[in-house]
Amino acid sequence: MILVFLLASLASLATPSMMELPQDEMNRYVEDDPLYLYTLYMAERNSNAGGDGFLTTDAPDSGSDNQRNESALGDSLEFRTPVLLSDFRIAGRTTSNNGEYKIPLNVFLRATGGQQDVATYTFTLKVDTAGGEITKATEQKEMNACDSILPGGCGWNQVVINLKWTGAQEFTVIADGQLKLFISAESSCEGSSGGPFSPSCDAEVAWGKPDDITDYSSMEFWANALAGSSVRLQQPGALWTDPEVVDWYPNSMPDDREMNFTVDVRDSLGRFDIQSVSVQLQDPSGTYVVDHSFSDNELVEDNNGLRGVYQWVHPANVEHGEYELTLEVIDIQGHSVLIEHTPVYFHRYGISIRHALDRTAHCGVHRSRPDDTDQDVSQAHRIGGRSARRRA
């Protein structure tokens, strides 16, 4: 009988097989705007974020992200995202219960104590909202304690905790706020005197880059940290707040064929989350007449975002019609986020006449948008680098 119990105890010490977070059938949740499946890793503490650990999209693979494990008995362990630079819209994943949603948390736990002891972990998700900090979800997990004096010691248990709530599927973490995860624990072995050969009493959590495991403590949910990004099409010398120019003419003077594509990239989680930025302009035939990837030198930090300008001079007699302008931002997890601009139009007819005082008049007889079926006349005057458009 004793041998059977000992063998069963030793079997429980082995590292469990890897567990994957449940996968939804859809790879993207969509309502008004597309949301993408994000993974937040529990990594080494970030001094700017605070807490005991950092919730980040950057997998903890570097040498400085070694495994960290601490006891959850007594004071709670706290994990925080960066202080958000813009509102961060999050949607939970669906459950089998109507109107119930979840954020799966994949976490490594280790409870030690006597053979009959049980540790109870409590997981609490808190959100900074416009109305203050709220508790979004709370779940508990009981674990039988492992006797640490047995041969081989005690291994880590990988478990999935579904942080569930009812009501609206979405919630928003406000700019300058944070998403926070608290983990606390209690154990039936706390307060026991024990002798010199008694097992240790603890309830630990592991995060960072695991020593002997090929997975991470992490959580998953639908989100879009780049939703606040945008692109504007303007003439040279224009400020970001100046009006855009979406009507262009095929036979303008060369100086008036210069188009400024100005991008403003906003990532709620910070600059580190951005992998690449590019802008595209597609003509009516489906050809990309502009497909420019911004280098690091072309992007400058501006008011917690990245700002860049690409200049392109369109050729004379460019194909007329409706053009599609998009901004593409790829983050470090490979999400390709497309921000669509309103259509840009190149009109069938138009000429440029330059006269005194550096004034340029675009006089064009063209077909109205988008199918060029009705004729109208438009005229634009630019004085000192600024433009104003008047339609007849």
pLDDT digits 0-9 by tens, 308-322: 999 999 998 889 999
Spell out a b/e string for 112-139, using b for 16 or more CB atoms within 10 Å of the CB, else e: bbbeebbbebebbbbbbeeeeeeebbee
Superfamily holding 230-391 = Macroglobulin (MG2) domain (2.60.40.1930)
pLDDT tens by residue, 48-58? 999 999 999 99
Query: Buried (b) or exposed (e) across 358-367, using 16+ Cβ within 10 A?
Result: eebebebebb
CATH 2.60.40.1930 domain locations along the chain? 230-391
Contacts of 267 (CB under 8 A, 6+ apart): 85, 86, 225, 226, 229, 273, 274, 305, 329, 331
Please give the structure tokens belonging to residue 372: 């060029």
Banded model confidence at residue 364, pLDDT cuts 50, 70, 90: low
85 phi and psi angles, rounded to 5 deg: -85, -15
Half-sphere exposure of 329 (CA within 13 A, CB side): 26
pLDDT band at 391 (very low <50, low <70, confident <90, very high): very low
pTM for this prediction: 0.80
Q: What are phi and psi of 303, to 5 degrees?
A: 50, 50
Distance (Å, rounded) from C-alpha 166 to C-alpha 255? 58
Cβ count within 10 A of residue 39: 15
For 111-136, how does the pLDDT look when each residue is reduced to its tens digit (9 = 90+)?
999 888 999 999 999 999 888 899 99
- Residue spans in the chain of domains classed CATH 2.60.120: 2-223
Name beta bridge partners: 204: 71, 110
Do residues 347 and 320 make contact, with C-beta atoms less than 8 angstroms apart?
A: yes
For residue 107 the two structure tokens come to 């976490």
Q: Per-residue pLDDT tens for 247-267?
A: 998 777 877 889 999 999 999
Measure Cα distances from 9 to 3, 4, 66, 149 in Å.
10, 9, 29, 11
- Rounded Cα–Cα distance for residues 375 and 370 (Å): 12
Residue 1, amino acid = M
Contact 344, 289 (CB under 8 A): no
Domain spanning 2-223, CATH class: mainly beta
Q: Is the peptide bond prior to 243 cis by the omega test (within 30 degrees of 0)? A: no
Report the pLDDT value the prediction gives residue 387, as an integer from 0 to 100.
33
